[in-house]
Chain A
Amino acid sequence: MNKILIIDDDEELCELVAEYLTVEGFETKAVHDGQTGLETALEGEYDMAVLDVMLPKMNGFDVLRNLRAASKLPVLMLTARGDDMERIVGLEIGADDYLAKPFNPRELVARLRAILRRTEPADTGDKSAEKLTIGDLELSRSSRTAWIDGKEVPLTSVEFDLLANLAADAGNVVRKEDLSESVLERKLSPYDRSLDMHISNLRKKLGARPDGGDRIKTIRSVGYIYTIV
């Protein structure tokens, strides 16, 4: 049974979410301020954290920043709906995914499962090779790590999966619909910008190619290509 840590100052909401998640087969614990949240998360007993942005004592971004310094615990950020800044900042400092509040609990469970599946060590027979090298980029599927020029690039689980999908098919267009379904585990819906946002963060983290070109190119209304020189 997966243990989920909920960090949110709305106690009633935490109770309801805990009740819902219990029915869905999760074990939960809720804390209501940033400081306690960070300390509890660092205990290492949990498989995942659901983190609200607006928190007393220490806000969600600071909690995440401090947490990332010491732990790779997957984090789902709860942001205010319509606030792009919160989403962008959250993803930039290492959240694995985000969900706008108020959210549909079914959606929450789907996201939690997707992230958990992704972060669990892939020991079952993988269809593709464990190591992948394209130019100066190197990927290891088992350790879910990416290197450029031998230097590790800190990626979130979504970013790693996106990169792995693109790199496996390097030089060819990978359709947005496919990426959404295989990485985010949901159908691509109109006006949903999350895929673009993850790609944009991934681009920033990877930087330009040694020759100055874009590593990931956008093919409008189709998808993305990981370019090969």
Chain B
Amino acid sequence: MNLFFKIFLWFLAAVSLMIGIVIFINWTVQTEPVVSRWQIAVRNQMNIYADTASQIYQESGEAGLNQFLRRIRQSETISEVDLVAPDGSVWLGDSQAANYRDLATQAIASEDVEIDTQRDTSLAAKIVSIGNGKKYALVVRWDRPRPVAVFGETRLRYLRLAGLLLTALILCYALARYLSSPIGKIRHATQQLAEGTLGTRVADRLGRRNDELGKLARDFDEMAERIESLVTSQQRLSRDISHELRSPLARMNVALGIAKQKASPEVAAQLERIENEADRLNQMIGRILTLSKLESGAEDYAKEPLDLFDIVASVADDADFEARPLGKSVKLDGEGTCLVDGNEALLRSAVENVLRNAVRYTKEGTAVTVSVQKTGANVTVRINDHGGGVPEPELKNLFKPFYRIGEARERSTGGIGLGLAIADRAIAAHEGSISARNIGDGLEIEIDLKCEPNGNSV
């Protein structure tokens, strides 16, 4: 789930919870004091009613008392008035059948106002002494007060609730957008930078923000600027190194030639050795430069439709020529045309590096097999050697620059561990993929490339 929805839903949940809590607190906070105040009022009223009732009975007897009870009932908040005997029977009043025995007994015993709270109403009872010493309980049914609801009582309350929720929704949406959209922009810029667009800057796209996100964007820009300058200076450095290292090497080669012109035969072998080493040094510099050029991704390689099979076949020819004197060979498998959109020099060097590597490591008397296979819109080049393969955990490291596999593939076999790294970058520059696995008694390197859409026939 993306950040926008997370923020949105969390804030929505928080707002909903807040509304719930407010309603709940309102209810409890309002209810308590309202109820206790109401109870005090009811008690006072009940005391007055009870005293008045006994006085009226003394003055005007049962008829007067009945009239008084009827007058009490006229009050809006009172729905029922009875005089109940201790045995529960109703002497005077409305509900003859009602069973108020417990409440009446209680009130008569305590001589105080007793309140029995029921669903919507409350019954209040108070002892009333009548002249002849008889004791009754005056039982009055009161409407209970209700706390004021947060959204009121009318139908308008639904509208108010909806309005509140809508406002909350809009605010949550705005907040979530405000927080997540700059992060999305920064993320997009990070991807661009990672893909090699080193000129990517993001702060301007965020507008004027002074919060952490704005600062993050400015920090990102600073970082991007530093990376850009580092990369360009590194590229300049490799170019300079190429020129600087090669100039002395070129002079050395010529000086060596002069030395050989003048040397006596006994140092010829040593001079030959120096020449070989200088040659090796030169090759290394060349490879490092090729790799650094490829890795920077800055170079724009001109691409054209090429027949991959042609390239593989001609490299395989050369490799076979090179392998024969070592008692090894290269076998080519596959036929036909596979057009790919590529740079010939790059593709050639990728195939050459992999193939020469295979020839170097395959055992004497074995053949390296190269196969070119077209499957749908892809073409796959597989190069298999019989060199004993590579320890499984090392496979993923094969394409790292200067990586050497410990015991199995030693320095004496030559190379400086850049060939496969160069192949990897060259294939990547063609949006293809290269992978390695152990098959049988050797290593298989697989190169996958996209074919030209209309490359089926020439």
The interface of chain A, by Cβ under 8 A from chain B, is 10, 12-13, 16-17, 19-20, 23, 54, 80-82, 84, 101-106, 190-191, 193, 220-221
Contacts and interface: CB of A to CB of B under 8 A. Distances in A.
Given A20-B261, A81-B282, A82-B290, A10 B251 contact: yes
A178 to B, nearest CB: 16
Name the interface size band of chain B: 20 to 34
Contacts of A221: 313-314, 317
B250 interface: yes
A10 B249 CA distance: 12
Top 10 A-B pairs, shortest CB-CB distance: A105-B257, A190-B318, A102-B250, A16-B254, A221-B317, A82-B286, A102-B249, A84-B345, A190-B321, A190-B322
A172 B403 CA distance: 48
Nearest to B343: A84
B277 interface: no
A190 B289 CA distance: 22
Contacts of B243: 54, 80
B254 A23 contact: no
Contacts, number: 67
B409 to A, nearest CB: 21
B319 interface: yes
A191 B253 CA distance: 22
Given A54-B243, A190-B318, 10 more contacts: A12-B251, A13-B251, A20-B261, A80-B246, A102-B278, A102-B282, A106-B257, A191-B352, A220-B313, A221-B314
B192 to A, nearest CB: 28
Interface of B: 242-243, 246-247, 249-258, 261, 275, 278, 282, 286, 289-290, 310, 313-315, 317-319, 321-322, 345, 348, 352
A104 B246 contact: no
State the main secondary structure of chain B at its contact with A: helix
B136 to A, nearest CB: 120
B313 A17 contact: no
Contact of B251 (A16, A82, A106): A16
B258 A16 contact: yes
Among B250, B318, B348, B352, which residue has the most Cβ atoms of chain A within 10 A?
Answer: B250
A154 B345 CA distance: 26
A62 B251 CA distance: 25
Contacts of B314: 220-221
B223 to A, nearest CB: 33
Contacts of B286: 81-82
Contacts of B278: 102
Given A81-B286, A82-B290, A16 B255 contact: yes
A84 to B, nearest CB: 4
A191 B318 contact: yes
A84 B318 CA distance: 19
Contact of A101 (B246, B261, B318): B246
A80 B290 CA distance: 12
A103 B250 CA distance: 6
24 contacts: A10-B247, A12-B251, A13-B247, A13-B254, A16-B251, A16-B255, A20-B254, A20-B257, A23-B258, A81-B246, A101-B246, A101-B250, A102-B249, A102-B252, A102-B278, A103-B250, A104-B253, A105-B253, A105-B254, A105-B256, A105-B257, A190-B321, A221-B313, A221-B314
A19 B318 CA distance: 36
Nearest to B345: A84
Contacts of A220: 310, 313-314, 317
B250 A10 contact: yes
A82 B313 CA distance: 21
Contact of A190 (B253, B256, B282, B319): B319
Contacts of B319: 190
B253 A82 contact: no
A36 B250 CA distance: 23
A80 B285 CA distance: 11
A102 B251 CA distance: 8
Contacts of B261: 20, 23
Nearest to B322: A190
A74 B348 CA distance: 30
B387 to A, nearest CB: 20
Contacts of B352: 191
Contacts of A54: 243
A80 B242 contact: yes
Contacts of B348: 193
A187 to B, nearest CB: 11
A195 to B, nearest CB: 11
A26 to B, nearest CB: 13
Contact of A17 (B254, B256, B310): B254
A104 B275 contact: yes
Nearest to B299: A85
A81 B286 CA distance: 7
A81 B246 CA distance: 9
A5 B291 CA distance: 35
Contacts of A101: 246, 250
A20 B254 CA distance: 7
A221 B254 CA distance: 35
Nearest to B323: A190
Nearest to A12: B251
A213 B322 CA distance: 34
